Amino acid sequence: MLNFLKSIAFVIVLTGAAEVYADSTLVGLDNYAVPAEDIFTDTPAPVDLNSYEGAARFKTKLTQGAQAGPNYAGHYTIVTIGCGTQCQDNWLIDAKTGKILARFQSMIGITYKKNSFLVIINPPDETLLNSYMANPDAPFWSQIKTIYQILKDDQLETIKQMKWTDFSKSLPQPKSSQPNSMPTTRN
């Protein structure tokens, strides 16, 4: 019976996950397209390590990333540097000026395109959602949020976010075989 309930819960979560995936289509990369004429094709400027506090500590990675050229929102470069298990440090660099505009962290990665203003931080992932279903009480899950941000006036603006633990609210609660309290008897 327990396996049956787990199967039902899994299907319900996948249905919820389908809503997330459908929602990520509605809030999709192509819905925030960069005009073709705004795609930067020149040589990128060298990264200005003085434009953001602490950047000099990551000189090699930021320099190499900036040299690779824009990969986000037309003329920006996102450079991702690992910072431990389930931790990525992401830097946003303007390829035209070399200025570092932002630094943000992710836990399971980010999704973005050169021709889109949208970046999805901790995007829904089927394998990880399955792991969440198997271990919903693991402390790691309570920290994950999928965050949708767009670049506007050289700043990332959050347009939507969702905690992964919100999936658990839509699950049916199994009925306990034992009552919540001791039955009373009358004499």
> What pLDDT, in 10s, does the model give residues 31-84?
999 999 999 999 999 999 999 999 999 999 999 999 999 999 999 999 999 999
Q: Which residue has the tokens 């905690």?
A: 163
**How many structural domains is the chain composed of?**
1
Instruction: Confirm whether 182 is domain-assigned.
Output: no
* Bridge partners (DSSP) listed for residue 110: 121
**CB contact at 8 A, 118 and 31:** yes
What domain range is 116 assigned to? 2-170
Instruction: Confirm whether 81 is domain-assigned.
Output: yes
Instruction: Confirm whether 178 is domain-assigned.
Output: no
**What sign does the dihedral 109-110-111-114 (CA atoms) show?**
negative
Q: Is the pTM of this model over 0.95?
A: no
- Specify the pairing of strand 88-94 against strand 110-112: unpaired
Could you tell me the two tokens for 168? 């658990």
Instruction: Confirm whether 110 is domain-assigned.
Output: yes
Instruction: Confirm whether 186 is domain-assigned.
Output: no
